[in-house]
Structure 1
């Protein structure tokens, strides 16, 4: 299985930090409170172990917004919210007292909009850093077992998982941002990073 050097991991983490910083700023403006970010983690695992690598069980129920992107590197950008957190985020967004049933009805639309803004901000930041252009498909909402949502139509293979946790400071609602790329995309991504590092040297 492909492995990353420590230098490559550090560079990827730093770039994700920049991208997610832009995304967190956008989310902070939407909810009117500070968004706390964790240190990014970078790992390459078999696709079947993706849920475990993110820190969730395969059967854990999550709400997710997935956005497929293509360009010089490609993959799936996802926002994942453990059960219950997604509804609380919708409540924080709408800033209105609503019944759980009403919030659940609005969950898909509200989270898809949040996902669109956050994922595009993060991916757009990476594209700007590389002086590149990424193309995004429309975000899709999904709810179900984490293992099913992270599964790929093609089955096996290895994926690079970039994970960053974010938490709304006041309401203590959190989720994960992940970028999942197959090995060919990872190699293309690393080539971009190494070119960027050479230009910065």
Structure 2
């Protein structure tokens, strides 16, 4: 296994945006039908971030509360996928889906519905990657966290060298809700993923 960080090319990142967009579209349909609320997801961009430089590249997460739904996976490629909302966006989305009062704070019902949203979105995205690249994933039960701040970023530095961060936009009724999808891979898995994408793109 190479000890050097794997740098993804623009072709890799563009292809991942395509795959994530397909997965987001599928999850939008499922959520809209299940919750009887029009929900649209878009993923306009993705970037690779050096975990050592997180405080400079995503400073918006350092000093605010966020809600995170974390889905770990193992298999041909191993890692974690995270759906991250600033706390206010998570509160708005939870209130919309539960028809709750806007002043209500997070409770078990809101945590439950946000976890289910994250589970659907992340499973749809990882399922799309799995289908296109013909790789198998075994998923763990999704975990909800609140107040994912500076200390949690320190934990990321212990688990991976690089992550992929995708800008994610939810349109729910008249509200625009901002979030991010983070994909974390071991160095070996990142290497394997780029090779699989190269193989797919060469066969087109």
Into which bin does the TM-score normalised by the smaller protein fall? Answer: 0.7 to 0.9
Unaligned runs of 5+ in 2: none
**1:80 corresponds to:** 84
Q: Does 1:24 align with 2:33?
A: no
TM-score (norm 2): 0.83
Cα distance change on mapping 1:42 and 1:152 into 2, 3 Å: same
Q: Does 1:53 align with 2:84?
A: no
Aligned length: 198
**2:46 corresponds to:** 41
Alpha-carbon separation, structure 2, partners of 1:39 and 1:153: 24
Alpha-carbon separation, structure 2, partners of 1:186 and 1:50: 18
Further displaced range: 113-122 or 155-164:
155-164
TM-score (norm 1): 0.84
Alpha-carbon separation, structure 1, partners of 2:130 and 2:11: 20
**1:131 corresponds to:** 134
Shift of 1:196: 1.3
Cα distance change on mapping 1:155 and 1:127 into 2, 3 Å: same
CA contact (8 A) 2:19 2:125 kept: no
Query: CA offsets, 1:126-162, max 9 Å, x none?
Result: 1111222211110011111433334437727521313
Shift of 1:3: 2.1
**1:178 corresponds to:** 182
Unaligned runs of 5+ in 1: none
Shift of 1:114: 1.2
**1:15 corresponds to:** 19
Alpha-carbon separation, structure 2, partners of 1:44 and 1:87: 27
